[in-house]
Every structure is written in structure tokens, then in C-alpha cells.
A = this chain, B = another copy of it.
Amino acid sequence: MTHNIAILGASGYTGAELVRLIATHPSIKITALSGDRKAGQQMGAVFPHLRHLDLPVLQKIEDIAFDAVDLVFCALPHATSQAVIRELPKDVKIVDLSADFRLRDPAAYEKWYGKPHSAPELQGEAVYGLTEFYREEIRGARLVAGTGCNAATGQYALVPLIKAGLIDLDDIIIDLKTGVSGAGRALKENLLHAELSEGAHPYAAGGTHRHLGEFDQEFSRLAGRPVQVQFTPHLIPANRGILATVYVKGDAGAIHDALSAAYADEPFVITLPMGDLPSTRHIRGSNFVHVSVVADRTPGRVVIMAALDNLTKGSSGQALQNANLMLGENESAGLMLAPVFP
């Protein structure tokens, strides 16, 4: 059985990544692509790496016939998503890749995004899209909210540990290194090659990054009390890949055991042997996550690391994994592409 899907916002990186992944998916057919400013253009003109594919022409959202669509991937900018999704037919399934439905609490949304939500009635309905931790809810959901790519990375390191009560909840530091494509195809001076190559810098330091809203929501829910982590993201000269280095207090052996057990049956999350270290290069272009544990020389201190590709497992791969569940397909269909190295 073939499922018809539409991708809204196909002219951005996450839209293009969805097309790349679906290109070899056995049972999903792309029937519509939207790109407002590029409506009328071929996808291969906007993204020449996709020119070998037979794809629908980019069109405006209002010109899409949603009655022929089983599921919509919404890769629109933040804030635009909520307005568009509110208007979609109620029998269409939706995987949203924006930030619009990640936070369930309207007050939290307003705090982190600076304005009231325009579709608060959908905020409660949306399921948080971190597949490994919300699998059953996603399977039955109509609307799934893709997670922040940084937020996903940190959660793979921490969720099983907070759930099991294995770490000190008041001393969690996430130092994160992220590639540049997470910022999208935006025309910003700080994303130019000449500004970015051959160096590193922090940004949104001190607790101002919006993905903290997701950390706060998910970790507090798991702990049953407020949990507030420290989080410093850094931009590194790489197009893809996020590495989270997480500093916690706990027992390294117990932590490694808990992560190994949590991910033992997961198709995409791999716990490395104790002491092995990950690299973003080893998951590049794929849906895999590598999680690693190292005991520090100071007893009771542990470093946990997680690496994933922000465009794949951190965004479009995650979205497809969720769509597979929602459509009753094999969860890993189209997603077993091996990482691209070197």
C-alpha cells in the first residue's frame, strides 16, 4: 500500500532532507511540495542534488489538494506552522518539524517564543515526537511535534537516567557542539562560510536557548519535580551533526547499564561500550544515535555523550520514523541508510 504525503516548506534543508530519505522509501509517495517563494519551480532547481528524482513542482500551500493526502510533513518556519496546521483537514495526519507544538503549556510557549500561541487547542493534542520515549502515543496520534535537534540530543543522553533516578537532578550540564545546517538556509551574516569555517564559538549561552523549554518540560515531567539544566550550545564548522557532552553526578556503571538497557531493542540508538567515544562523523547522514559513557577520575562524576545528525535523527529522519508509525508501516522503513564517512 502506498501512502501519499505532502511536504510543506520543501525549499528548506529539512524539507530537502525529507525528500532525500523518501526517495528510497518503499511505500511513501510524494504528491505535493510547497515552497511559497519558490512556487512554480522544479525541486531540482532549488536543490540540484535532487534533480534525478521525478517530483511534483513546488506550489503554494493553498493550491494543494489535501484530500488526496494521507500525511503532511510541515517543515515551515516557526510560528507559520501553527497558522497553517490549524487550517488543515482534520483527517490528515501531520508531522510538524517546527517548534510550534513542542511545548504543551501555552505559558511556556509564550515564555520561550515571545508571543502567544495562535492554536493553543492543538498544543495539548500534539504528541512530543521523540520516538523512543513516546512510541505508543505517536502510533495513535494525528499531530506529532518534531523535537528540537539539540533537545533531542540531550534527551538521548539523559531520559533513561532521570526516569531511573540515577543522577543528581540539580547538577546537570549539557555542553553541546552543533553543525550549521540546524540554523536552516537563512541569510544571516553569522552563517556565511567566511564567518564560520575554521573555528568555534558559543551562542545563546547562560540559559537563553529555546530548546531549554523542551528540556525543562520533559525532564521535569519525568522527575515529577522541576529540573533545570545548564545548557551551552556551540557552533562548529560542520554542516551536519550534534555532539552533546553531558556532565552529571552518579555512578558510571549504573548509568551505562541503564542506557544499554533502555536502548537494547532500539533500531537507531546505539550505546557504545563503556569508555568508547562518539564522533558526529560516525552518524553523518543517517538516523543513528551514538550514546557513550565515561567515568571521570573524580569519583561520582560521569560524562555522557550523545551524537546524532541534526537533519536526520534530529529532524527529518525522526519525522519519517514517526510517520512510519502513524501510517502503520515498519518504523525503520527508508531509514536504514548507513552513515556517510568520510
Contact = CB atoms under 8 A, between A and B. Distances in A.
B175 A342 contact: no
Nearest to A298: B228
Interface stretch (A73-81, A121-129, A188-196): A188-196
A197 B194 contact: no
Nearest to A279: B201
Contacts of A206: 275, 294-297, 303
A288 interface: yes
Contacts of A200: 177, 236, 238, 241, 243, 279-280
A20 interface: yes
A210 interface: no
Q: Which of A20, A24, A205 has the most CB of B within 10 A?
A: A205
A240 B303 contact: no
Contacts of A19: 338
Given A19-B338, A238-B200, A207 B298 contact: yes
A177 B236 contact: yes
Contacts of A50: 338-339
A342 B281 contact: no
Main secondary structure of the interface of A (DSSP, over half): loop
Contact of A281 (B52, B191, B199, B281): B199
Given A197-B198, A207-B296, A243-B202, A49 B281 contact: yes
Contacts of A281: 49, 195, 198-199, 201
Interface size class of A (residues with CB under 8 A): 35 or more
Contacts of A52: 268, 270, 288, 338
A21 B207 CA distance: 38
A247 interface: yes
Interface string A133-158: 00000000000000000000000000
Contact of A284 (B177, B199, B203): B199
A197 B52 CA distance: 22
A28 interface: no
A187 interface: yes
A296 B24 CA distance: 39
A47 B190 CA distance: 12
Interface of A: 13, 16, 19-20, 23-24, 47-53, 171, 173, 175, 177, 179-181, 185, 187-189, 191-203, 205-208, 212, 228, 230, 232, 234, 236-241, 243, 245, 247, 268, 270, 275, 277-286, 288, 290, 294-298, 301, 303, 305, 307, 336-342
15 contacts: A19-B338, A24-B338, A52-B268, A52-B270, A185-B189, A193-B237, A198-B238, A201-B281, A202-B278, A206-B296, A206-B303, A207-B296, A237-B238, A240-B342, A340-B340
Given A177-B236, A179-B198, A202-B243, 5 more contacts: A49-B341, A51-B282, A199-B241, A202-B305, A228-B297
